[in-house]
């Protein structure tokens, strides 16, 4: 009775947290299984960025709680941001939940599950669910374990083991920015960074296991170490870290997410011109193109400064690819404000974007602001930006037809018939390949494209 399934909602940080919990559980003797219908313990790692994400997780938990009527020993847990945000109040709505663990206590999950199993085996009533959402000093240092694809499949006893070729590495947690729309400072806590030597050691160990691409993760990843490390040779702590990861033999590509425009100082911009392993792809959250709305959001930059950053990055690396986040319908957003957002959005020529309709998050300053925008207006503005994005993305993808792109082969695609990988610009590619090429950097000639995917053929040596 030790089969665990972890269902993850939300961002890449949540994916990394789930991976670490899975690794810790496997080390404790639990089996990580891919089928939620074939598990003894089901953990929901949740998101609170938008109300819809919380409602989706609550609905899922309510549905799963019905399983306990047939299997009283089934264990249901809620982890992550929603657990942190709502805490014990979740038990009022979901009394059958056994475990609620916040964002600074992921490393305690194995202990709590051991306790629940021991009580069950001894026939001791557990009573109300276990709730732990307390802050813990040093919790940013506990997300360091990895469960590779090979280990995950072996743990389930099925499937063809495959090497893990890319990995997320958590370097920083928490946020001190306090944007008016965002609940992350409440759910993730104050900004705190891991020691640089620990991060580099983790990346080196991953390289020794065959990982070729590292993505550095943080709530505000570009703020890494700003209180802990002094600048050296004009380079801040984040760039110093990138340089050390860059020096690791076996690591071929470096990415990071999510940054803040404030973090793109000269040292980071210049890194794109001089560090070949740093992929020419940037996720640069814009949020709005109106200076008035940016001030209301408590975003400390202007539309002019944002455009300067984009131009500087393209000057440093002409092949740069960009993605962004934009919120439409923020309280008080007028037609003129949105027109400015649309103008800047189009001018930046994004390859990909996450466009969100503003969602009220109780406990944030924006939740009580006047002039809330009607839902139909939000929807219309959302569609306008999606149409611009589709046009931009298809045009930029089409320009790649006939070119040869370097692709890291990640594994089989969803059909299992072909293979998939990504370009340095983070474009998904689909192609035919030999399974032995997984983990290799290969030249791919692009012969057709869709809005989000490139299709092509491998360029044979001597061909």
Q: Provide CATH 2.40.50.140 ranges for the chain.
A: 404-458
Q: How confident is the model at residue 161 (pLDDT cuts 50, 70, 90)?
A: low
202-233 pLDDT tens trace: 999 999 999 999 999 999 999 999 999 999 99
Sequence-distant contacts of 431-439: CB under 8 A, at least 24 apart? 431/407, 431/455, 431/456, 431/457, 431/458, 432/457, 432/458, 433/409, 433/458, 437/409, 438/162, 438/163, 438/165, 438/409, 438/410, 438/411, 439/163, 439/165, 439/210, 439/212, 439/408, 439/409
13-35 pLDDT tens trace: 899 999 999 999 999 999 999 99
Place of tokens 């469960």: 147
pLDDT at 154 over 60: no
Q: Find, among 148, 149, 147, 129, the residue nearest to 65 by Cα.
A: 129
Q: Find, among 289, 59, 80, the residue nearest to 187 by Cα.
A: 80
3-state SS class at 253: strand
Looking at the domain 3-136, which fold is it?
Answer: Rossmann fold (3.40.50)
What percentage of the chain has pLDDT greater than the value 90? 81
3-state SS class at 138: coil
Mean pLDDT for the stretch of residues 350-356 = 95
Place of tokens 């506990």: 142
Mean pLDDT for the stretch of residues 240-251 = 98
Q: Which residues, in sequence order, are CB contacts of 417 under 8 Å at separation 6+? A: none
Architecture label for domain 140-398: Alpha-Beta Horseshoe (3.80)
Q: Which residues, in sequence order, are CB contacts of 159 under 8 Å at separation 6+? A: 153
CATH superfamily of 404-458: Nucleic acid-binding proteins (2.40.50.140)
Per-residue pLDDT, 158: 43
Determine which helix (DSSP H) or strand (DSSP E) holds 256, and give its type and residue range. Answer: strand 253-257
Q: Provide CATH 3.40.50.12160 ranges for the chain.
A: 3-136
Beta-carbon-side half-sphere exposure of residue 102 (alpha carbons within 13 Å): 20
387, burial (CB in 10 Å: exposed 0-12, middle 13-18, buried 19+):
exposed
- What's the chain's Rg over C-alpha atoms? 23
pLDDT at 274 over 50: yes
Helices first, then strands: H and E counts in the chain: 15, 18
Task: Decide: 165 and 253 in contact? Cβ < 8 Å.
Answer: no
Q: Which residues, in sequence order, are CB contacts of 325 under 8 Å at separation 6+? A: 258, 283, 285, 286, 287, 353, 354, 356
The pTM of this model reads 0.90
């Amino acid at each position: 009775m030790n089969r665990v399934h972890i269902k993850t909602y939300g961002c890449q940080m949540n994916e990394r947290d789930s991976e670490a919990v899975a690794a810790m559980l496997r080390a404790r003797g639990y089996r990580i299984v891919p089928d939620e219908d074939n598990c003894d313990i089901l953990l929901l790692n949740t998101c609170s960025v938008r109300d819809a994400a919380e409602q989706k997780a609550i609905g899922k938990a309510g549905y799963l709680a019905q399983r306990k009527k047939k299997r009283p020993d089934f264990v249901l847990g809620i982890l992550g941001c929603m657990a942190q945000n709502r805490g014990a109040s979740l038990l009022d709505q979901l009394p059958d939940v056994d475990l609620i663990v916040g964002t600074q206590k992921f490393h305690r999950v194995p202990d709590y599950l051991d306790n629940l199993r021991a009580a069950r085996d001894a026939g001791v009533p557990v009573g109300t669910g276990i709730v732990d959402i307390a802050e813990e000093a040093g919790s940013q240092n506990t997300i360091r374990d990895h469960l590779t694809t090979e280990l995950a499949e072996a743990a389930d006893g099925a499937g063809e083991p495959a090497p893990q070729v890319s990995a997320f590495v958590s370097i920083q947690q928490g946020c001190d920015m306090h944007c008016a729309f965002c609940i992350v400072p409440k759910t993730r806590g104050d900004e705190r960074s891991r020691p640089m030597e620990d991060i580099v050691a983790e990346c080196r160990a991953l390289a020794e296991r065959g990982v070729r691409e590292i993505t550095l993760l943080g709530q505000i990843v570009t703020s890494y170490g700003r209180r802990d490390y002094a600048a050296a040779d004009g380079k801040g702590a984040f760039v110093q870290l990138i340089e050390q990861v860059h020096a690791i033999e076996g690591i071929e590509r470096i990415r990071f997410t999510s940054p803040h425009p404030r973090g793109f100082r000269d040292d980071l911009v210049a890194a794109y011109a001089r560090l070949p392993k740093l992929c020419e792809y940037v996720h640069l959250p814009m949020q709005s193109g109106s200076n008035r709305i940016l001030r209301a959001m408590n975003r400390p930059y202007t539309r002019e400064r944002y455009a300067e950053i984009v131009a500087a990055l393209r000057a440093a690396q002409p092949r740069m690819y960009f993605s962004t986040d934009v919120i439409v319908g923020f309280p008080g957003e007028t037609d003129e404000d949105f027109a400015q957002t649309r103008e800047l959005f189009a001018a930046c020529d994004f390859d990909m974007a996450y466009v969100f309709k503003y969602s009220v998050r109780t406990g944030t300053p924006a939740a009580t602001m006047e002039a809330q925008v009607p839902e139909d207006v939000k929807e219309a503005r959302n569609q306008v930006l999606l149409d611009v994005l589709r046009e931009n993305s298809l045009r930029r993808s089409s320009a790649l037809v006939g070119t040869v792109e370097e692709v890291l082969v990640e594994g089989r695609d969803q059909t299992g018939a072909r293979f998939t990988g990504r370009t340095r610009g983070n474009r998904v590619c689909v192609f035919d390949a030999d399974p032995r090429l997984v983990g290799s950097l290969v030249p791919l000639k692009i012969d057709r494209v869709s809005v989000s995917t490139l299709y092509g053929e491998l360029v044979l040596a001597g061909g």
